[in-house]
Amino acid sequence: MSTTTLHTTFIYGLCDPETGEIRYVGKSKNVEKRIREHLRPCALLANTHKIFWIKSLLARRLIPIFKILLVVPASIADAEEIKLIATMRASGARLTNTADGGEGGHVGKEAHLKQAAALRGRKVIRSPEHNAKIVACNRARATDPAWRAKISKRATDRVKTERPRLMEQLKVAWFAPRTKRYECVCLGCGSEFIAKNTRKKYCRPQCAINAWKRRDRKVRAGVPA
């Protein structure tokens, strides 16, 4: 890898494939890898404006188009990203960035207020009558034989599928090679050796035999071991 690549950062944009509008601005030293990371299933589990936008495209069998906006030295990449995001927002761009850019992200006061308003909007306030209706419905369903049989069948099926999987994982973990090692001192010759556990007292079988012979000679001579 060349020195130019190591010290160069790409500031890119994710564009709407239908309108060409830039909806997200980011930076990376490896743009192609970063674009693939945006589309990974684990990355799509987050609840952000950008993720909701990408999911809406995927639902229509579309993917974002990436566009390299700037190529800057790595030392000023954070400042350039912050400046570009601010400029685009001032010009009316509908960016899905929740942060102002830069290393680690700097969420502004406006973004905090917007997130708080969205969370407050999701709060569900039920009346006492509605809560009583839900409780009565759950109690009636709990005593329904058909419902209880359905729940029992689901639990039985879950055990049939989960038990073999868990047993297989247990076997793999049980027979997996142990990588932990312990530094020990041989009681026979006094040399240091590496063992898989702390119960091993001798570095080799001959040291154990020699130690036993020395002890046996002392016992025959009347000297306590």
Query: Which tens digit of pLDDT belongs to each residue from 42-80?
Result: 888 888 889 899 988 888 888 888 899 999 998 888 888
Contact 188, 203 (CB under 8 A): yes
Domain count within the chain: 2
107 and 11 assigned to the same domain: yes
Q: Is residue 160 part of a domain?
A: no
CA of residue 105 relative to chain centroid, distance: 19
Which is more confidently placed, 37 or 124? 37
Three-state secondary-structure class, residue 201: coil
User: Which residue among 106, 121, 136 closes a domain?
Assistant: 121
User: Which residue among 69, 91, 121 closes a domain?
Assistant: 121
109 and 37 assigned to the same domain: yes
Statement: residue 126 has pLDDT above 80: no
Statement: residue 173 has pLDDT above 90: no
Q: Kindly give the interhelix angle for 128-142 and 145-174, rounded to the nearest 10 degrees.
A: 80
Residues 72, 81: Cα–Cα separation, whole Å: 10
Neighbours of 10 (CB within 10 A): 19
Q: Is residue 106 part of a domain?
A: yes
Q: Is residue 153 part of a domain?
A: no
Structure confidence at residue 223 (pLDDT): 55
Structure confidence at residue 102 (pLDDT): 61
User: Which residue among 104, 121, 138 closes a domain?
Assistant: 121
